[in-house]
């Protein structure tokens, strides 16, 4: 119960990584606010948390990048929870096409969801965290932010921006008691036989990762166990960005 009596807002938490993070935070005692566009899936995550003895609520949110939507979510979340101790900027849009095939609307969508939305949500929440005496922000980056692959340049750039903002926010809000860090996941999916499993060949782990691995890292960064960690990007990627296994 490392997060007992804490509150947590997890964006994009109705499926995959966000769902796993919401479940893990709740299992450690946090009152979790599940958010996303799909109310049915959100209700299912809340029911799963409550069935395990945890506390959770769902709030519909479509974080496309508008400052107004971010401020509305921050206000509604604060009203429902009373205060926000933990913010997990997880909601994301994937742009997997080539540069030539990426349209301007798609580019704007990727940067709106992955950069503008967490920027304005943090702008609305971090000062309140500082005023209440502290808090924790965990951003979800990506291994492709630092290891180039031949597709998804817009997505990679958006995640690199989020990792850079992590360091800037740590400098800006850290002295006021708000710890800001990021997680850089490797190829992670609920299906172990996902087609992207090939991207993990040549790594120490050797195959695709589970969302629960990212969730455990989020719990650690959100807890007091990580009190000396500021402005860091924690690679939870099976060794994808830092290690090459040379096969005989």
User: Residues 10, 88: contact at Cβ < 8 Å?
Assistant: yes
pLDDT per residue of the chain (248 residues) written in tens, 0 to 9? 999 999 999 999 999 999 999 999 999 999 999 999 999 999 999 999 999 999 999 999 999 999 999 999 999 999 999 999 999 999 999 987 899 999 999 999 999 999 999 999 999 999 999 999 999 999 999 999 999 999 999 999 999 999 999 999 999 999 999 999 999 999 998 887 888 888 999 999 999 999 999 999 999 999 999 999 999 999 999 999 999 887 64
> Which residue out of 58, 119, 155, 173 is catalytically annotated?
155
Q: What are phi and psi of 224, to 5 degrees?
A: -70, -15
- Catalytic site includes residue 155: yes
Domain 7-236 grouped into CATH 3.40.50.720: yes
The 178-185 sheet, strands edge to edge: 55-60, 31-36, 7-10, 86-89, 135-140, 178-185, 233-236
**31-36 and 178-185 as β-strands: parallel, antiparallel, unpaired?**
unpaired
Cα(49)–Cα(223) distance, integer angstroms: 19
Neighbours of 100 (CB within 10 A): 5
Look at strands 135-140 and 86-89 and give their pairing.
Answer: parallel
Helix (H) or strand (E) holding 181: strand 178-185
Contacts of 127 (CB under 8 A, 6+ apart): 173
Percent of the chain with pLDDT over 90: 91
DSSP per residue, 137-149: EEEE--GGGTS--
Name the one residue in this structure whose structure tokens are 């949500």: 121
CB 186 within 8 A of CB 143: yes
Q: What is the DSSP string of 37-77?
A: S-HHHHHHHHHHHHHTT-EEEEEE---SS-HHHHHHHHHHH
Inter-residue contact 3 to 223 (CB < 8 Å): yes
Give this prediction's pTM.
0.96
DSSP label at residue 113: I
């Amino acid at each position: 119960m490392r997060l007992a009596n804490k509150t947590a807002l997890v964006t994009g938490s109705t499926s995959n990584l966000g769902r796993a993070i919401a479940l893990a935070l709740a299992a450690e005692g946090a009152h979790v606010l599940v958010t996303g566009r799909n109310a049915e899936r959100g209700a299912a995550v809340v029911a799963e948390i409550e069935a395990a003895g945890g506390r959770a609520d769902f709030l519909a949110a479509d974080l496309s990048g508008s400052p107004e939507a971010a401020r509305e979510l921050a206000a509604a979340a604060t009203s429902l929870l009373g205060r926000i101790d933990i913010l997990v900027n997880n909601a994301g849009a994937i742009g997997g096409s080539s540069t030539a095939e990426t349209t301007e609307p798609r580019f704007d969508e990727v940067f709106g969801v992955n950069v503008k939305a967490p920027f304005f949500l943090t702008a609305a929440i971090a000062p309140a965290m500082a005023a209440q005496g502290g808090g924790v922000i965990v951003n979800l980056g990506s291994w492709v932010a630092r290891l180039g692959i031949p597709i998804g340049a817009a997505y990679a750039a958006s995640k690199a921006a989020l990792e850079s903002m992590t360091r800037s926010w740590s400098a800006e809000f850290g002295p006021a008691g708000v710890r800001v860090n990021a997680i850089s996941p490797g190829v992670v999916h609920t299906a172990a036989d996902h087609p992207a499993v090939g991207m993990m060949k040549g790594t120490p782990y050797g195959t695709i990762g589970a969302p629960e691995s990212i969730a455990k890292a989020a719990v650690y960064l959100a807890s007091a166990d990580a009190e000396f960690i500021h402005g860091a990007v924690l690679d939870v990627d099976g060794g994808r960005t830092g290690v090459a296994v040379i096969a005989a």
